[in-house]
Amino acid sequence: MKSPTTISKATIDRLPLYFRTLRLAQDEGLDIISSDELGRRLGITPEQIRKDLASFGQFGKKGVGYFVNELKRNVGGILGLDNHWNIAIIGIGHLGAALANFHNFVTLGFNLVALFDEDPDVIGTTVNHVKVEDIANLEQIVKERQIHIGIIAVPAAFAQGVADKLVSAGVKGIWNFAPIKMEVPAGMHIVNEDLSVGLSSLSYHITRQ
């Protein structure tokens, strides 16, 4: 396998797409899938798929294809999905509650172990069988429950403060839904999901059709 530093971001970004497609193929009962079929489902050339996968090892059998279960397991391992990361959601408004009910967390191997909010009317309620805790106790609970990933779903004005608490508590990564650029220490992994940016981009393209 190549050194992680020599594997392109584009290749890494395609791995979750491969995993999702293989999971769907597995649900369909497929035992073997070709690079042609993977490419057809994803809109990616078979050559690119073979090149991407070759960055991580030798998979599949020439003239036969890829064994779906085996390749899904291998790609999941490359993505670290077999680590069963513990996650917490901060901000249990409409978006936070929707994320808490996202059934694919479990399917992907993530464990939702904590929810946080500051609203007294929300604290103590449960969403998807998880109790909402007072955000004042975030750092203590993150450490006690060994939470690896924090999901920020609070208004932009409060997001940086939440990020600071998560960093202080020792999380490994942050998934941020607040529409701001986070300031986090070097080495902290953060993924930003700005819904307004995506929708505005879609509006741009539709306008110019």
CATH number at residue 20: 1.10.10.10
Distances (CA, A) of 56 to 4, 7, 51, 91, 109: 9, 9, 9, 37, 21
Number of domains in the chain: 2
Asked if residue 209 belongs to a domain, the reply is no
Based on the domain organization, do 102 and 56 belong to the same domain? Answer: no
Based on the domain organization, do 100 and 193 belong to the same domain? Answer: yes
Averaged pLDDT for residues 2-24: 85
Based on the domain organization, do 62 and 103 belong to the same domain? Answer: no
Q: Which of 145, 179, 152, 181 is nearest to 166 (CA)?
A: 152
> How would residue 73 be classed by pLDDT, with cut points 50, 70 and 90?
very high
Taking all residues of the chain, what is their mean pLDDT, rounded to a whole number?
A: 92
Res 152 pLDDT > 90: yes
Domain stop point among 20, 47, 81: 81
Domain stop point among 81, 113, 146: 81
Model pTM score: 0.84
**Domain of 34?**
4-81
Question: What are the φ and ψ backbone dihedral angles of 107, each rounded to 5 degrees?
Answer: -60, -35
Averaged pLDDT for residues 167-189: 93
> How would residue 112 be classed by pLDDT, with cut points 50, 70 and 90?
very high
> How would residue 1 be classed by pLDDT, with cut points 50, 70 and 90?
low
Question: Tell me, what's the pLDDT at 60?
Answer: 84
Angle of helix 9-27 relative to helix 46-54, nearest 10 degrees, comes to: 110
Asked if residue 206 belongs to a domain, the reply is no
Based on the domain organization, do 137 and 162 belong to the same domain? Answer: yes
Asked if residue 48 belongs to a domain, the reply is yes
Domain stop point among 81, 100, 134: 81
Based on the domain organization, do 41 and 115 belong to the same domain? Answer: no
- Which residue numbers belong to the known binding site for NAD(+)? 91-96
Tokens 């649900």 locate to: 27
- Which residue numbers belong to the known binding site? 91-96
